[in-house]
Structure 1
Amino acid sequence: MDFMSKVLSATDVLHVDITKVKVKGVLNERAKKGKVQGILPYGYYRDENEMMAVNPEEAEIVKLIYDLYLKGWGYRRIAEHLEDEQVLTRYNKFDGNVTYKHPDGREITKAKKDMTWNHSNIRNILHNKVYIGERSWGGIQQPCPAIIDTDVFNRIKYKIDIRQKKSGKRSDHRYILNDVCKCGRCGNRFTGRKSGKYRHYRCTSVLTRGNKCGNSYFDADALNTFIWQRFFLSYNLYDLVKEHLKNNGTSDKVDKLNLEVKKLEKSVSSLQKERQNAIQLTIKGILSENDVAGELQRIDTGIQDTSIKLKNLTEQLQSYANSTDNLKNIKSDFVSNKDKVSFNEQQELILKYIERITIDYENPFFKTTIKFTIPDMESEVYYIDRSYRLAFYIIHDQIIAWNFTGVENINIRRFRKLVKEIESITGYIFDE
C-alpha cells in the first residue's frame, strides 16, 4: 500500500471514529426520551413513535410461562409444551438465518423458521425484569409497560432460588466432578444425574429433542473413584506435578512476562491518548482530517500490533498465575488422610489441579482425558473399560494397566481381550 492509500485509509478510520462519537450521543438522547433501539424482548414491539409497546398475543404467552412455572413446571417442560402447541418463537416470524455460538466455541447457523423453544428461552423470560416494567439502556433507566405483576415475578424468583439450593444439596455428595467434566464428542457439559438407583455422568445433549451426540453414560461412582484414587490417594498427581515443575520452573518466566506486560500496557495507553487527542482536535475543527490522517494511521498500526502482543503475554501470564514452584505447598495437599476428607475439601482439591476431564466412549473403552491447571503440563489419557475395573494408559511408548483399588479377580480371558483392543486402538504394545 502506497503512502496516499495509507492516508486515505486512515481518513476513513477517522470518519468512523467521529461518527461513533456522534451516534453514541444520539442514542443516549433517544434513550432518555424513552425511545427504544435494538431487538426487543419477546412480548413487545416498537410502535409508530418508536416507543416500547406490548404485543398482546405474545404477552399472553409470557403470562402462560409464568403461570406454568408457578404450578411447578420446569424450563424444559414449558418449552416442550409450547413446541407441542406450535407457539411461534420471535424468530419464526422472520425470514433469513441466525448465527450463534455453541458452548464449545463453534458458530452455528440456523434458519430463523427452524428456531425452537428451549430451556434457555424460558429461563431468560422468567429472569428478565423488563416484564415488570424495569429496563435500562447504556445505564439509562427506561420505563416500559409491564406484563407481569411484581408480586408474581418475586414469587418466581423465590421458587427458582429454592430449586437451585435443593438441587445443589441433592447432588453434592454424588457428583463431585460436575464442574470439570466435558463431552469429548460435542463439547457440552458432562453432568451428574440419577436414574432409578443408578447415578451417572452424561452429556447434556441428551436433554434436547434433537442433535444428541450419542456419547455413553459413565457410572458416577466409578469416575469419582478413579479420579480420586488415581490422582490424589495414590500421590500420582503429586509426582506428576513435581516432575513437571522440576523440568519447567515458572518463577523466571513470570518475572519476565510481568516486565513485558507493564511495558506494553504503558505503550498502548500512550498511543490511545495520542489518538483521542487527534480525534478531539479534528471534531473541534482545530485540525483538518488531512492534517491528522497520516499520524492516525501510524497510531492505529502501533495500537493494533502492541495490543496483539499484550493479549498473548497476558494469556501466558494468567496461565502461570495459578501454578507454583513451591513443592512443599503442593505436597501439603496430599499428606493428610485423603480418604476421609469432606465433599467440599475434595472438590477444592480437584478444581485446584484439574481443569477439565473429557470423556468419549469408544467401545469397549471410555477414553478419558485429564487436563491439569498447571501451565504447560501434558494431559493424561486413560482408556477405562466399560466394566470399570481397568484403566489403560501409555507411558514411554508402552501400555500400562491400572487396577481400580479394591477390585480383584480380574478375568484373565477378558483382560487379554481388552489388551488386544487397546493395542489396536493406540498402536502401542502392552507392558507385561
Structure 2
Amino acid sequence: MEQLAIYCRKSQENKDRDSSSIEEQELQGKKLAKELGLEPVLFIEQTSSGKLDLKDRPIMIDMLQKISVKGSSIKAVFAYDTSRLYRNDETKGQFLTIIKRKNIELYFKAGRYDWNDPHAKLLHNILSATDEFFVDLTSMKIKDTLRSKAKNGKVNGAVLPYGYAKDENNYLKIDKEESKIIIKIFDDFIDGKTSTQIRNWLIDNKIPTRYNKIGGTNKIIHKERNETRVYKKSDSVWTNGTILQYLRNPIYKGQRRWGEEFFDAPIIIDPIKWEKANKSYINRNKGSLRGKSTEHKYLLTPLLQCGCGQSLNGRSNKLENYYGCAGKRYKEKRCNSKYMPIRVLDAIITHLVYGKLYDTVKESFSGSNSQKREELQSRINNLESELQKIETNQIRIEDLLADGIYTKDKYLRQTKRLDDKTNDIKIKKSNIEESLKSLKGDTNILEEIDELTNLAHSQIDYPFEDTHPDLMKNLANTIFKGYLALNLPFEEKQKTIRKYIKNILVKWIPESKIYEIVISYRLPIDDEIYLMDSLTLHLVDAQKRKIQWVNQARYNKHRDVAIEKAQKKLQKYVL
C-alpha cells in the first residue's frame, strides 16, 4: 500500500516550547493520511533543532533514505509546518531537491506545498544542479545496510570467500568440501610447500575454483594497451596470487574484515595455525608477502603481449635480463614462446621509434630546458627527502627492537620492507639524474643527435642522388638517429615509447623459428610487422623485405654460415 511519511519534531528553540506537541503533529498527519487514502508511517525526532544540518538529523535522514530507494512506497510527506522540517536554507534545499526528484507531494497543516511558488522553484533549481547529496544519501544507506549485515554474520550478495556458503537465512556458514581445500592449503604452507606446488596440485586434482562454479564472464581492461578482454569464468584456473590471498585472509581464523573493522566469522583455520602458516611463508620469502613493482626497470613491460594472449613481463636470471611470457609459469597454458633478451627488444623499439618518428618525437620534447631541469631537480629532491624519512624509520625500529616492543621477526620484516623501498627510490633517482645530465645548458640531447647526424651527412657522398634524390640520405638518417637514440636517458625513452606505441605483439613461430613483431601506434599509422630470426641477428620489415636493424653485438660473433642460414629463414617465411 502507498504511504504518507509523517515527520514529527519537538524543537529545542525557546520560542517553540509551547508549540504543538508530538501527539498533535501525529494526529494531524494521520488525519491527512486517511483523507488521501495512504498508510501513515511515523518518523519522530523527539528533541532537535531545525537549524541543524541535515547530516545531524538522523530521523530525517532515515526518512529521506526510505524515500530514495527504488520502488519506495512513500508517495507524500506531511509536517505540521515548515519549521518542523527546516530552519536552515541548506537543509531546506537538500530536502526539497530529493522529494522533488522522487515526485513526492509535500503537505503541511495549512495545505499542500506549492511547487509553483517562485522562491521555492529558484531554490530547488539551484540545488538540484548537482546530484552529489542524493548520491551520498543513497550510498550512506547502502553502506549502513551492508555493514549491519556483515556485523550480524549475514552474506552481502558479493562473491563468497572460498570455503564458505550461506544458509537458508542468508547467514555465513562453512562449506564442508571447500573448507577441506583451505585446510590443505594452510597445512601445505606450514610443511614448506610453495604456492606454485600447491597450485599445481589443485589443477592436477581438478579442484574447481570459485569462478568455475559461478559461471558467466569476466572483463579485464588493459589501460596501457587500450584493450578489453572477456574471459569465461568457467575457464578460470588457480593462480599463485589467489592462493596467497587465501593465506592472508583473516576470515579463515574468524575475523571478517569490513573496511577498517573486523567482525566474527565461522572459523576454518585455528588462529595459531593461521599465524604459523603466514610466518612460514614470510620466513621463506625474506619477510615479504607482497610482490615488488619493477616497472621502472623495464622499458616496454606495459606494452608487450605474447602471441598466446598473455603479457610479456620483465625478468632476470644470473646471465641477463629478458622478457618472458606470463603464461610460461603455468604448465596448463603450455606457451611455447622463447624468451627475448631485454637489450635486444629495447634496442629494436628505440631504433624504430626514434629513427622513423624522429621529428614527431623531437616535437614532444620541445620547450624550455630550464623548466625541465627545475622539474627533474624537484623530483630528485623529493626522493632524497623520502630516503631521509626511511633512515629515520630505520633508527626507530631499531629502538623498538631494543625496547622489546618489536619481536625479531617483526623487526626483520620491517627492515626488509624499508630496504626494498630504499632500493626502489635509488633506482628512480638514478634514472632522473640521467635525464638531468642530458640537458646541458640550453642544448637538449635530441638536438645533439641532430648535430651528429648532420655531421655524418656532410662526410658522406650518397649514391643515386641524380636519379633518386635523398633516397640514401633518408635511409642513413633513420639509421643514425635510431642508433644514437640508444644512448638517451631511460626515462626519456620510456616516456616517448609509451606515448606513441599502443601495443607490441611478439609472436614466436616454432616451426619456422622466427619471431613476428607487430607494433601498433597511437598515431594514424598502420600496424607495422617485422620479422626476426631465432638468433636475434636481423630485424626485417615484413612488407618491404628490408633489414631495419642489425644486432651488431652478436653479428660479429657468429660465423658466416650461421648468418646466411638466419637470412634464408627470413627470406623463405611467408606471412
The aligned residue for residue 248 of structure 2 is 127
The aligned residue for residue 230 of structure 2 is 107
Task: Show the 5 A alignment for 1:300-311.
Answer: none
Cα deviation code 1:38-59 (max 9, x no counterpart): 2321122224553323335433
The aligned residue for residue 33 of structure 1 is 152
Task: Show the 5 A alignment for 1:383-422.
Answer: 383-393=531-541, 399-406=546-553, 407-408=555-556, 410-411=560-561, 413-414=564-565, 417-418=568-569, 420-421=571-572
1:369 aligns with 2:369: no
CA distance 1:382–1:180, shift in 2 (3 Å): farther
Q: Which amino acid aligns with 1:81?
A: W
The aligned residue for residue 190 of structure 1 is 312
CA shift for structure 1 position 405: 1.7
Measured in 1, the distance between the counterparts of 2:542 and 2:182 equals: 55
CA shift for structure 1 position 109: 2.4
CA distance 1:110–1:390, shift in 2 (3 Å): same
The aligned residue for residue 286 of structure 2 is 162
What secondary structure is seen at the aligned counterpart in 1 of 2:532? strand
The aligned residue for residue 382 of structure 1 is 530
CA distance 1:206–1:40, shift in 2 (3 Å): same
1:357 aligns with 2:476: no
The aligned residue for residue 360 of structure 2 is 244
Cα deviation code 1:21-50 (max 9, x no counterpart): 498264454334332222321122224553
CA shift for structure 1 position 417: 2.4
Measured in 1, the distance between the counterparts of 2:289 and 2:257 equals: 29
What secondary structure is seen at the aligned counterpart in 2 of 1:53? strand
Contact 1:244 1:377 in 2 (8 A): no
CA shift for structure 1 position 391: 1.0
> Which of 310, 325, 340 lines up with 1:203 in the alignment?
325
Measured in 2, the distance between the counterparts of 1:238 and 1:152 equals: 54
CA distance 1:172–1:71, shift in 2 (3 Å): farther
CA distance 1:16–1:161, shift in 2 (3 Å): farther
Task: Show the 5 A alignment for 1:9-408.
Answer: 17=70, 21=138, 24=142, 26-38=145-157, 39-85=159-205, 87=207, 89-90=209-210, 97-101=215-219, 105-109=228-232, 111=234, 117-137=238-258, 141-148=262-269, 149=271, 151-152=275-276, 154-155=278-279, 158-159=282-283, 162=286, 176=298, 179-180=301-302, 182-191=304-313, 201-214=323-336, 216-220=337-341, 223-228=342-347, 230=348, 237-245=353-361, 331=446, 346=490, 348=491, 351-355=494-498, 356-362=503-509, 363-370=512-519, 381-393=529-541, 399-406=546-553, 407-408=555-556
CA shift for structure 1 position 389: 1.2
CA distance 1:36–1:168, shift in 2 (3 Å): closer
Contact 2:282 2:288 in 1 (8 A): no
Measured in 2, the distance between the counterparts of 1:153 and 1:350 equals: 44
Contact 2:300 2:346 in 1 (8 A): no
What secondary structure is seen at the aligned counterpart in 2 of 1:384? strand
Measured in 2, the distance between the counterparts of 1:184 and 1:242 equals: 27
> Normalized against structure 1, the TM-score is what?
0.56
Structure 2 residue ranges without an equivalent (≥5): 1-66, 73-134, 368-438, 451-483
Aligned length: 318
CA distance 1:379–1:133, shift in 2 (3 Å): farther
Cα deviation code 1:44-101 (max 9, x no counterpart): 2224553323335433321221221233322231022234445454566x5x733223
What secondary structure is seen at the aligned counterpart in 2 of 1:382? strand
CA distance 1:250–1:109, shift in 2 (3 Å): farther
Measured in 2, the distance between the counterparts of 1:247 and 1:193 equals: 33
Structure 1 residue ranges without an equivalent (≥5): 1-13, 252-325, 426-432
Measured in 1, the distance between the counterparts of 2:303 and 2:198 equals: 27
Contact 2:515 2:534 in 1 (8 A): yes
Cα deviation code 1:118-168 (max 9, x no counterpart): 434323212323223333447764332343325236415624753879997
| CA RMSD across the alignment | 4.9
What secondary structure is seen at the aligned counterpart in 1 of 2:255? coil
The structure with the larger Rg is 2
Cα deviation code 1:176-209 (max 9, x no counterpart): 4672463342321224567998986442333334
What secondary structure is seen at the aligned counterpart in 2 of 1:162? coil
Contact 1:190 1:202 in 2 (8 A): yes
